[in-house]
């Protein structure tokens, strides 16, 4: 198991001395996500690997940032455990550090929690070359806990993660997927009604008139929920493929090689779950839509202007991310309000005073 921490420190100090920004990444599997980086050299954690500690009884795993998610999931599966936030892989080489930095979660997000909810602690190298340690290996160790969570979704702009401790969970004893023929409006209403009940839901998706709901937990709880909800039960193999395709965004809806992608951009709208349905009338140019997270995550292929889509998302109480920017139509993320931008700037100045970590990846000027 390779520990490259000292080499990373040397490279960062050299970058600071030469005023040469760095492109921070793991395997590069999510290089397309975010804005273009004004960096000249790449610092990759891909060789910084190894599971350092895994205690199944305590549900805690600690590994170096370059360790692949595939390796972690293999070790967990051998003990009947899993990463509850279901991170998308994008590549077999996808790394732990990259997953935390991207902050992306799968279908279980509204039911189990997101990436940041399972980060217990981490080690990072900040802009002066210092190695800082935050959090710990148990939930009750709260020292530095918020800083650990802060790194989730930061896209490497605050520092270089070298080690991460995660809370893991047991694999559910039973799973079932039920399908229902419903319109978009009816599906949003129905899933919100079910979400208010004590049902063992761990995933939901609506696409092209079909609402699919995943149940998981104790066998008795799943069986009881099946009786309450009805619907058509999906075969186990087909259900497993559906949820994995959604997790990894390999579902046909997401294909960048499709005819849809040739003329449209893919937007991810984060909205209140009860927000009304979105259609071609709501967004001029909307062509296809997939709804996840009980209505809180809405994927839309559209050729509408970025301004129109962001305005719509704000009017519904949410925000929009230009997830697939292959047409280079604008910034990936919404511009921050002045007060929030000032907070981001202070954090950036504190962790990366010389501006060498992924400048511009998250927001221009940061």
CATH number at residue 80: 3.30.465.10
Residue that terminates a domain, selected from 138, 170, 202: 170
Shared domain check, 316 and 178: yes
348-365 mean pLDDT: 93
pLDDT of 164 reads 97
71 and 208 assigned to the same domain: no
Residues 328-346: pLDDT tens digits?
Answer: 667 899 988 999 999 999 9
182 and 158 within one domain: no
Query: Which whole number is the average pLDDT over 46-72?
Result: 98
Among the three residues 325, 344, 359, which one is the final residue of a domain in this structure?
325
142 and 19 co-located in one domain? yes
**Same domain (yes/no): 241, 123:** no
Q: What percent of the chain has pLDDT over 70?
A: 92
d(Cα 298, Cα 317) in Å, to the nearest integer? Answer: 13
* Containing structural domain, residue 295: 173-325
**Would the pLDDT of 326 be above 70?**
no
Q: Note the pLDDT of residue 142.
A: 46
Nearest CA to 49 among 28, 75, 67, 62? Answer: 67
Evaluate whether residue 354 is within a structural domain. no
Residues 177, 285, single domain; the answer is yes
Sheet (strand 319-324) strand order = 232-233, 174-181, 210-217, 201-207, 286-292, 297-302, 265-270, 319-324
| 350 in any annotated domain | no
State how far the alpha carbon of 153 is from the alpha carbons of 33, 74, 99, 149, 232, in Å: 11, 24, 9, 9, 37
Task: Say if 355 falls within a structural domain.
Answer: no
- Give a yes or no: residue 10 inside a domain: yes
Write down the pLDDT at residue 18.
95
**Domain shared by 112 and 196, yes or no:** no
Shared domain check, 280 and 203: yes
For residue 146, name the pLDDT band (cuts at 50, 70, 90). confident
- Do residues 151 and 209 both lie within one domain? no
Looking at the fold, whether 101 and 182 belong to one and the same domain comes out as no
Distance of CA 242 to the CA centre of its chain: 18
User: What pLDDT digit, counting tens, does each position of 78-88 carry?
Assistant: 999 999 999 99
In a domain, 92, yes or no: yes
The pLDDT tens digits of the residues spanning 189-200 come to 999 999 999 999
pTM over the 0.85 mark:
yes
Q: What span, in angstroms and rounded, lies between the C-alpha atoms of 170 and 252? A: 30
Residue 292 belongs to a domain? yes
353 inside domain: no
**291, 136, 319, 324: which is closest to 203 by C-alpha?**
291
Last residue of a domain, one of 148, 170, 192: 170
> Which pLDDT does position 364 carry in this prediction?
86
Instruction: Dump pLDDT digits (tens) for 227-284.
Output: 999 999 999 999 999 999 999 999 999 986 666 677 788 999 999 999 999 875 566 6
Burial of 2 (0-12, 13-18, 19+ CB in 10 A): exposed
Residues 159 and 235 placed together within one structural domain of the fold: no
From first CA to last CA, the distance across the chain in angstroms is 34
**Tokens coding 210:** 């079909």
On whether both 192 and 134 belong to a single domain, the answer is: no
In a domain, 332, yes or no: no
pLDDT at 144 over 60: no
- Note the pLDDT of residue 353: 96
| Number of separate domains in the chain | 2
Residue 327 has pLDDT above 80, yes or no: no
């Amino acid at each position: 198991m390779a520990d490259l921490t000292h080499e990373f420190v040397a490279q960062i100090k050299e970058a600071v001395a030469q005023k040469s920004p760095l492109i921070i990444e793991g395997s590069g599997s999510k290089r397309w996500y975010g804005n273009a980086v004004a960096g000249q050299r790449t610092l990759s954690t891909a060789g910084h690997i190894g599971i350092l500690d895994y205690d199944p009884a305590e549900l805690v795993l600690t590994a170096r940032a370059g360790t692949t998610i595939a390796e972690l999931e293999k070790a967990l599966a051998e003990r009947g455990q899993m990463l509850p936030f279901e991170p998308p892989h994008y590549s077999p080489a996808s790394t732990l550090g990259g997953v935390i930095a991207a902050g992306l979660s799968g279908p279980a997000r509204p039911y189990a929690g997101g990436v940041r909810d399972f980060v217990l602690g981490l080690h990072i190298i900040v802009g002066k070359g210092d190695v800082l340690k935050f959090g710990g290996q148990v939930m009750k160790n709260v020292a530095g806990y918020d800083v650990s969570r802060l790194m989730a979704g930061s896209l490497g702009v605050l520092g270089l993660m070298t080690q991460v401790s995660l809370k893991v969970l047991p694999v559910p004893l039973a799973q079932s997927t039920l399908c229902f023929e419903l319109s978009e409006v009816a599906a949003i209403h129905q899933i919100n009604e079910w979400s208010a009940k004590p049902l063992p839901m761990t995933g939901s998706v609506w696409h092209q008139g079909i609402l699919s709901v995943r149940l998981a937990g104790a066998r008795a709880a799943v069986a009881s929920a099946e009786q309450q909800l009805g619907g058509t039960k999906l075969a186990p193999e087909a259900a497993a493929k559906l949820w994995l395709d959604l997790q990894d965004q390999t579902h046909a809806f997401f294909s960048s090689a499709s005819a849809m992608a040739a003329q449209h951009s893919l937007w991810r709208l984060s909205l209140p779950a009860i927000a009304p349905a979105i259609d071609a009338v709501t967004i001029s140019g909307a062509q296809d839509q997939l709804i996840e997270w009980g209505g809180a995550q809405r994927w839309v292929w559209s050729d509408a202007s970025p301004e129109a889509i962001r305005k719509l998302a704000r009017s519904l109480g949410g925000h929009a991310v230009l997830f697939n920017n292959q047409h280079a139509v604008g910034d990936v993320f919404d511009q921050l309000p002045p007060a929030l931008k000032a907070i981001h700037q202070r954090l950036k100045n504190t962790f990366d005073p010389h501006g060498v970590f992924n400048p511009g990846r998250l927001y221009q000027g940061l």
